[in-house]
Each structure stands twice: as C-alpha cells, then as structure tokens.
Amino acid sequence: MWVVALALVALALLPEPGFACPVCFDPNDEHRQAFLATAIFMTVLPLGMVGGVGIWLRKRLRRLDDEEAPPEPPANDPS
Amino acid sequence: MSTDAAVMQFEVRPEPGPGKKLLPDGVMGMVIFVFTEVMLFAGLISAHTIVRSRAAGEMWPPYGQPRLPLEETAINTAALLLSAVVIFFAQRAFRRGVGSARWTFLASIVLGIFFVASQGMEWAALLGEGLTMQSSAYGGFFYLIVGTHALHAVAAMLGMVWAWLRMSKGTLTQSQFSTVQVFWYFVVLVWPVLYWKVYL
C-alpha cells in the first residue's frame, strides 16, 4: 500500500521539475531552438578554445624541437 | 631472429629544458584571461539570443524603441578591424627593430580611439532618442553587451598607450608588446560577433 502511495506522490511531484525545463516543453519553437543552440554553443566553446590552444602549443613545441635539433650529417660522410 | 632485430627502436623525445618556454609568461597569462572574457561574452550573447527568441512573432527592436545605427557602426567596425591589421604590421616591424614600428603602433591606437569615441557619440545620440537601460530588454542588453565591450576597449587602449610610451623610451620588450597585442586582438575579434548579434 505504501508503495502505491509513494508512486502517487512521485507522479504528483516529479513532472514539475520536468516541465520546468524550457528546452523540453516550451511551446514556442524558436525559443526552444534558442535554448538548444546556446546550450551547444556554451558547451562547445570552452572545449574548442582549450583544444585549439592545446593543438597550437603542441605544434609550437614540435617546431621549437626541430629548430633546436642538430643537423643530420650527410649520408656519405665517412666520419 | 637476431637480437638486434628483436629489439624495438624508439626515438626518445628529450624533455624540454628548464629554460625553454613555449610562450612568454605575460602572453600565457593574457591568453588565459582572454579565455575567461570570451566566456563572459558568450554568456551575454546567449542570454540576448534567448530573450530575443521570446519576442518571436513580435517586433525586435520593440515598438517605440529607436533603431541602432547600422551604417555608422559598420564604419567603426571597419576602423577597428583595420587597427588589428595595423598592429600586426607594427609587431612585425618592432620584432625586426624597424623604427617605423612606433608610428605604425600609434596609427593602431588612433584607430582604436576613433572606435571608442564614435561609439560614445552613438550612445549619446541613442540616449537622446530614449533608448536607456530601463526602457526595454532591448536597451538593457544593448548597453550591457556593448558597454562591456567598450570597457574592454578602453582598458586595451590604456594598455596600448602604456606600451607605446615604453616603446618611445626604448624599454618595451617583445613579450610586453605581444601581451598587449593579444588583448587587442580579442577586443577586435569579439566585436564583429557582437555587431552581428546585437545590431543586425
């Protein structure tokens, strides 16, 4: 009996936070799309920035390594 | 199978030396700071996008609110972008030790001051036409976003004037120039996005 009561309470309370999500239930389609677009934008932007700088720093490190590496001797050099 | 063939050959990449830096400290610090500033503007733009989307089917700008001056701001935008190009050449000249770097850098500062001054005049005109922070969400977002950018532009101007004075005295280092340059590039490159989202 208490399980049924708990289920009824849960059914009564849980939809409220669900409907509070404007992305899922906003009847205005443009508004919903704006939420989705900005959520994607705010998620991808920091990852893109950090990733971009990471790749750039890695390339820069390799370039510095290549510049500092001693030149290879010629192939027919007897020494 | 010989022993030599069984041993795999690895090329061991040497660890970076203690004095080896990928970026000067100032530039690295500025890059990290710019990251946080990019996120600030991203948040403002996102909020603006959502509020604007609520007005779907309605007028945007709202009825009775003045229209933003697209053409004048386009000219300001061009001046700002030109300033970034000019500071690029100033940096190249400064790295080569060419004396003209000082005047090229000054030209970049003048273009930046032109942008800030023009935006100030635009604000004065809009305030006169009744667009204020309290007049509507449209006005509130306009002054918040464009005002935040203007604050950054003024801060960058102060930094560039400081750098120019040091350059004139011969005490400016390449690292200091690059640090100021990174911040100016941020101010310049974020503006077209704001223009697109707020003005158009």
Q: Which pLDDT does position B139 carry in this prediction?
A: 92
Identify whether the C-beta of residue B142 lies closer than 8 Å to the C-beta of residue B148: no
Is B85 or A70 the better-scoring residue by pLDDT? B85
List, in sequence order, every beta strand (DSSP E) within B68-178. Answer: none
Average pLDDT over residues B89-105: 92
Percent of chain B's residues with pLDDT above 90: 74
User: What does the pLDDT average to over B178-186?
Assistant: 96
**Average pLDDT of span B1-14:** 57
Output the pLDDT for position B1: 47
Cα separation, A39 vs A23, whole angstroms: 10
Rounded to the nearest angstrom, the minimum Cα separation between A79 and chain B is: 22
pLDDT at residue A23 tops 70: no
Backbone angles phi, psi at A32, to 5 degrees: -65, -40
Q: How confident is the model at residue A29 (pLDDT cuts 50, 70, 90)?
A: confident
Can you tell me the mean pLDDT for A20-45?
80
Would you call A30 and B16 a contact, using CB atoms and an 8 Å cutoff?
Answer: no
Q: Lowest-pLDDT range, A31-35, A55-59, B73-77? A: A31-35
Beta-carbon separation of A28 and B53 below 8 A: yes
Chain B contact set for A50 (CB, 8 A): 35
Structure confidence at residue B6 as a pLDDT band (50, 70, 90): low
Radius of gyration of chain B (CA): 23
Percent of chain B with pLDDT strictly greater than 70: 88
CB B150 within 8 A of CB B117: no
Say if residue B16's pLDDT is above 80.
no
pLDDT of residue B183: 97
How many alpha carbons lie under 13 Å from residue B80 in its C-beta half-sphere? 27
Q: Is the pLDDT of residue B14 over 80?
A: no
Six-digit token string for A50? 């950090």
Cis peptide before B61 (omega within 30 of 0): yes
Distance, in angstroms, between A64 CA and closest chain B CA? 8
- pLDDT, position B12: 60
Which residues 25-84 of B have a C-beta within 8 angstroms of A? Answer: 31, 35, 38-39, 42-43, 45-46, 49-50, 52-54, 56
pLDDT at A1: 81
Which domains are seen in chain B, by residue range? 68-200 (1.20.120.80)
Contact B42 A50 (CB under 8 A): no
On whether the CB atoms of residues B140 and B133 are closer than 8 A, the answer is: yes
- What share of chain A has pLDDT > 70, as a percent? 71
Top residue of A23, A31, A41, A68 to mutate, by most chain B CBs within 10 Å, is A31
Q: How do residues B113-148 score in pLDDT, each as one tens digit?
A: 999 999 999 999 999 999 999 988 899 999 999 999
With 90 as the cut, is the pLDDT of residue B154 above it? yes
pLDDT of residue B21: 78
Q: Count of CB atoms within 10 A of residue A59's CB?
A: 10
Q: Report domain extents, chain A.
A: 2-67
Q: State the pLDDT at residue A69.
A: 76
Q: Is the dihedral of CA B166, B168, B171, B176 positive or negative?
A: positive
Amino acid symbol at B122: E
The CB density around residue B50, as the number of other CB atoms within 10 Å, is: 15
Instruction: Select from A21, A30, A62 the residue whose CB has the most chain B CBs within 10 Å, as the one to mutate to test that interface.
Output: A30
User: What's the pLDDT at B10?
Assistant: 61
Mean pLDDT of B49-54: 88
- Mean pLDDT value of segment B74-100: 94
Token readout for A68 is: 């500092």
CB contact under 8 A, B22 and A37: no
Phi, psi torsion values for B15, nearest 5 degrees? -65, 150
- Test B53 with A49 for CB contact under 8 angstroms: no
Does A16 or B50 have the greater pLDDT score?
A: B50
- Contact check, Cβ <8 Å, A34/B20: no
Between CA B148 and CA A59 the distance in angstroms is 34
Put simply, the answer to whether B22 touches A35 (Cβ < 8 Å) is no
Residue A19, CA distances (Å) to A15, A25, B87, B197 in order: 6, 6, 52, 29
